[in-house]
Amino acid sequence: MPEHTTSPRPPSSARRRRRLVAGCVAVAASLALAACGTANGALRPEPSTTVSDTAPPAPPASSAGPSSASSAGAPTGAPSGGAPASVGPSGPGPASKPATPRSGTPQPSTPRSTAPSPATPRSGTPKPPPPASTPTPAPAATTPGPPGPPASGVSTAVVHSTASGGRTVALTFDDGPGRATGEILDLLARYGVKATFCQIGRQAAADPAVVKRIRAAGHRLCDHSVNHPQPFASLTHEKAVYEISAARDMIVQAGGPGTEVTWFRAPGGGFTADNQRIAADHGLRPLGWSVDPRDWSRPGVASIVSTVQSQLRPGGVILLHDGGGDRGQTVAALKQLLPWLVAQGYRFDFPAR
């Protein structure tokens, strides 16, 4: 009986070829499964979770060798079909531990802040506009204070008393020169009385001889505007300047060289802060009165006399008229008042300056 012989073991080179073939088959199977997973994942809607711009790190590689490398290349979220049994380097044997299957849910990752970094803003996110600069508020306008004293040094306050005070009286006559001015000058000279004449500019210019006579007798002159407009307080600043300054110039020209005009009396007593300042700026002290018998209305001689006697106080200023119409009542009343004043011990003075 022939001797039984066993078949010889294949040479080592054949074993190596079989192992190589088995490894290639495993790699091909893994690649096919990965491709299928990628295709299926493209059809599956992406989860509504925020995914990092950078792919998460690959899961730990299995001990399968080539199969693990193939799985690591799969995109995040691709389903895994499981890895085939790997073939070890010594040929077919028990399957190695399959790689941990990857879930269809994306791997959690640390969400990146949607707010751009101030230093490195994300592309496509508009930079916030720079804060608008707050304009510096302009300094508050200061309210100008009251004007300072006039350059002339004359007070703007209205005068209502005599210069020396005490038992004195100042007689003043408005609206001249007029038809009664000469007769009044005669009465004043008879009693040695000095008075103040507040003249209208255009009338002084029309009768310069009377103006010179007033000056020669030692009386004083006062500005009473150019045209006696009323209400004087309602004039514009420019109009008031003209009425005051032009009247003063007319009176000075009518009186001749050396003529001085000391006061300004507003027609109707229409003083304002503005025209008082204008007068003071022109060297004229605003002049009022303390006794007004309203002789311009011709109330009767007795009324003129009684009003003066009842209203007069020491240091008072009496308002009378030598122009502007018929002043017969004023002349008649003055003939009674002059001796009465002397008998009462009054001295005659000029208004305060």
Active-site positions? 174, 321
CA 53 – CA 323 distance, rounded (Å) = 107
Residue 95 C-beta-side C-alpha neighbours within 13 Å: 9
Contacts of 139 (CB under 8 A, 6+ apart): none
For residues 23 and 90, is the Cβ–Cβ distance under 8 A? no
CA 264 – CA 255 distance, rounded (Å) = 16
* Cα radius of gyration rounded to whole Å, the chain: 61
- In 3D space, the residue among 288, 308, 306, 293 whose CA is nearest the CA of residue 162 turns out to be 288
- In 3D space, the residue among 205, 245, 250, 222 whose CA is nearest the CA of residue 317 turns out to be 222
CA distances from 223 to 19, 242, 265 (A): 138, 12, 6
